Amino acid sequence: RRFARAGAAFGYPMLSLLLASSPSFTARPLPPPRARCTPDVLMAAVFIDGEAGTTGLQVRGRLSTRDDIDLITLPEESRKDPAARAEAINKADAVILCLPDAAAIEAAALVAADNDRTVLIDASTAHRTNAEWAYGFPELSGAQRSKIAASKRIANPGCYATGFISLLGPLVGAGAVRREARLVTSAVSGYSGGGNPLIAVYEGAEHEPWGAYGFSLSHKHLPEMAAFSGLDRPPIFMPAVGDFAQGMVVSVPLHYDSDLEPAFAEGEGVGERLHAALAAHYADEHFVSVMSLGEEAWKEEGLLERGAFLRPDALNDSNHLQIFVYCNDAARTCVVAARLDNLGKGASGAAVQNLNIALGLDERTSLE
């Protein structure tokens, strides 16, 4: 029963579910508005709305030591006060919303009508498929990175969606996977993705070792999975949570004869071509890497635990994502998989990367 209650929260993993203040954070007066960072303006005022939740705490940790960011912090008693939040939002150069969906929508409405300066970065699912918001996965394409840089409204991707889109977006775009492919994807995530309720379950005395969920087949990440993968409909999605705090692996099996474009699936070396398409797409990316093709290469490179297992937590506390491709050309099947930190590239790391892009800064700042 406890898992069921927490699982409801895990329907939108990585969101901040608690707005209470952390005792280590102290209030200070709000600074005056500042412009975006330029060579002449070295400080940007940033407000994290919902900074005491799972994602908010990590975002704050990544920003708190920077000398180019001036963090706005509200007193504990004012954190849910609409007037105080509105003042902070409108004085900030950028606001990161680490809130549940409804609260994120309310926060976005607090931006004054005459405020065309403040950038909003929303970590909830509320605006991810809204055409007025830039989808915050810059590696999707060169055009997407430019769209983020020019936008005042940026929707941070979901952690599962980040993994799925990183795999399918390039393959559909390269003419490898059919837009009408009927795909299934499975994923396992660390329990921190469910926020404070699920963390309490798994760090308590009694808890499940592993649990599948999402049995309604209507997970909140499905709309963005379809919208930004290039597919004409979302996959069947089978998520699970394991007894580890952070990390995830998202896997998508592909059948050459039903899922790939016929011309792409002809002849020998189909698996090599799938791998090459992904490698070409991410060749110039810093945070997304395509690993060598196949199990034998992974063993030689020490990528498998005890030479056999792909750990989900190897990228914890980073903003990196790794792509793995393993195929059986004789059986005409392949699996593409993404490994990432659900709280890193799947949440706070992506938010900081998008913040850096929006402020015109090196997007790697405070992410190494």
**CB 160 within 8 Å of CB 189:** yes
**CB 117 within 8 Å of CB 91:** no
Query: Could you give the strand order of the β-sheet that contains 94-97, starting from the edge strand earlier in sequence?
Result: 69-72, 44-49, 94-97, 119-122, 153-155, 134-135
The active-site residue, picked from 98, 159, 327, 334, is 159
Mind spelling out the 3-state secondary structure of the chain?
CHHHHHHHHHCCCCCCCCCCCCCCCCCCCCCCCCCCCECCECCEEEEEECCCCHHHHHHHHHHCCCCCEEEECCCHHHCCCHHHHHHHHHHCCEEEECCCHHHHHHHHCCCCCCCCCCEEEECCCCCCCCCCCEECCHHHCHHHHHHHHHCCEEECCCHHHHHHHHHHHHHHHCCCECCCCCCEEEEEEEHHHHHHHHHHHHCCCCCCCEEECCCCCCCCCHHHHHHHHCCCCCCEEEEEEECCCCCEEEEEEEEHHHHECCCCCCCCCHHHHHHHHHHHHCCCCCCEEECCCCHHHHHHCCCCECCCECCCCCCCCCCCEEEEEEEECCCCEEEEEEEECCCHHHHHHHHHHHHHHHCCCCCCCCCC
Question: Taking the CB of residue 11, how many other CB atoms lie within 10 A of it?
Answer: 17
Return the closest-CA partner of residue 194 out of 228, 166, 160, 237: 160
Among this protein's residues, is 334 annotated catalytic?
no
Residues annotated catalytic, as ranges = 159
